[in-house]
Amino acid sequence: MLAAGFKVAAQASNLKGSVDGSRMKIEAITLREIRMRLKAPFETSFGVTQDRRILLVELTADGVSGWGEVTAMETPSYNSETTETAWHVISDFIAPSVIGRTIDRASEFPILTAHVRGHQMAKAGVENALWDCEAQQKGVPLYQLLGGSRKEIVCGVSLGIRDNPAALVAKVEEELDDGYHRIKLKIKPGKDVEFVRAVRRSFPKAVLSVDANSAYRMEDAMLLKRLDEFGLLMIEQPLYWDEIHEHARLQALLETDLCLDECIDNSRDAATAIEVGACRIINIKLGRVGGHTEARRVHDICSTHGIPVWCGGMLESGIGRAHNIAMSTLPGFTLPGDVSASRRYWCEDIIEPEVTVTAQGTIQVPESPGLGYSARSKLIDQLTVRASSWKASLALPTC
């Protein structure tokens, strides 16, 4: 593993020679797996999650250290990546390809790793750490480097599937009391219309949406159409995780706006979905699309076509959450995101300060350089179950 790193580093230094002040040399990468237990199990149509296996990337460029998070789940049930596939792909392909390389900007990262197909979440973990480095190096908050301008972002929450409608209604009430602007209900066959009806009856004016995580098929179109009567903001990803065209057929039958999540892996997918009318809203997740560079492209395409976007979540630790906050400041993020307070998920988050939400249901965007939250190294060490490092070598003499 290290040997490969040294080889690539040597090639890169021979090519580039000396490092100009404004450039970034990728000097070291540390990949860690940490274990974190969610305060409560989170149930979606694809399963229940409580114990998270999260990969953190710490990347050093010109003495500055930046952080990124891999948002893959433990199992390949949301998309095809897992914590383990990301460990493999970063260790064996991504880290060796970028260690020792010198680049002008973090936005060049996708070109360096274009030979690795797929594995967007693995790539995003590394690319986003580089964005944090670049922002710190330039002395600007990450949101500004990305081109964002919001000082405050509007927050929504995503609620896991509950045993019965009454339990869901009680949870919605709690979140509305905390000031959250939009409540998303996870649904699956058998736990859909009656759950939504109960919540709508209790909160006639609340902004509500549902997320099926691909649990339905076109044959369920009439069942999904029954959701039209509840005035939902959107129905998220009802059909196959990798099928855009069927969503277009479904959207034509529904009054409620469809929002795509799983189906949109990059800006080309977004363009296709918009062109065929598969959705009227898009959920952008940094991991799913491969990092800030591609996320911004998805955002731009949506803006051009008047498609509102919002920032999705993947039960992230504070590092991923901080990146989500920065991205959410871009102008097209006009709908509340699934970016909520650290304390909703974690007893103790790995960043300082933790992410807090105001009584108005917003997050104040930090103004300090880089991510704006610091990694709690000691706590991260305690939570780490494995780690691997790559270091750039000095140029090796050639004969």
Active site residues: 186, 285
Which of 5, 110, 312, 366 binds ligand OSB (CB under 6 A)? It is: 312
Would you count residue 158 as binding ligand OSB (CB under 6 A)?
Answer: yes
- Spatial distance between the Cα atoms of 33 and 55, rounded to a whole number of angstroms: 4
Contact 288, 122 (CB under 8 A): no
- Spatial distance between the Cα atoms of 286 and 320, rounded to a whole number of angstroms: 9
- Total of residues contacting ligand OSB (CB under 6 A): 12
Which of 33, 81, 134, 338 binds ligand OSB (CB under 6 A)? It is: 338
Q: Which of 312, 338, 355 lies closest to 175 in space, CA to CA? A: 338
Q: How far is the CB of 261 from ligand OSB (least distance, A)?
A: 5
Residue nearest to Mg ion (CB): 261
Q: How far is the CB of 285 from ligand OSB (least distance, A)?
A: 7
Which parts of this chain interact with Mg ion (CB under 5 A)?
211, 236, 261
Q: Which helix (H) or strand (E) holds 53?
A: strand 47-61
Which of 313, 332, 361, 370 binds ligand OSB (CB under 6 A)? It is: 313
Would you count residue 315 as binding ligand OSB (CB under 6 A)?
Answer: yes
Provide, for the chain, the percentages of residues in helix, strand and coil under a 3-state DSSP scheme, each rounded to the nearest 5.
40, 25, 35
Interface characters, 67-86, with ligand OSB (x: CB under 6 A):
-----------x--------
Contact 90, 119 (CB under 8 A): no
Which of 113, 213, 267, 328 binds ligand OSB (CB under 6 A)? It is: 213
Q: Which is nearer to ligand OSB, 175 or 338 (CB)?
A: 338
User: How close are the terminal C-alpha atoms of the chain, in Å?
Assistant: 25
Looking at residues 261 to 280 of the shown chain, list those that interact with ligand OSB (rule: CB under 6 A): 261
Stretch that binds ligand OSB, among 59-67, 220-228, 246-254, 308-316 (CB under 6 A): 308-316
> Which of Mg ion, ligand OSB, none does residue 158 bind to, with CB < 5 to 8 Å depending on kind?
ligand OSB
CA 309, 156, 233, 188 torsion: positive or negative? positive
Q: Which of 156, 203, 210 lies closest to 188 in space, CA to CA? A: 210
Q: Tell me how far apart the 2 most distant CA atoms of the chain are, in Å.
A: 79
Residue 29 carries which side chain, given as an amino acid letter? I
Stretch that binds ligand OSB, among 24-32, 189-197, 273-281, 311-319 (CB under 6 A): 311-319
Stretch that binds ligand OSB, among 215-223, 274-282, 313-321, 376-384 (CB under 6 A): 313-321
Q: Which is nearer to ligand OSB, 26 or 199 (CB)?
A: 199
DSSP secondary structure string, 11-47?
HHHHHH-SPPTTSEEEEEEEEEEEEEEEEEEEEETTE
The site for ligand OSB (CB under 6 A) is made up of 44, 78, 158, 211, 213, 261, 312-315, 338, 340
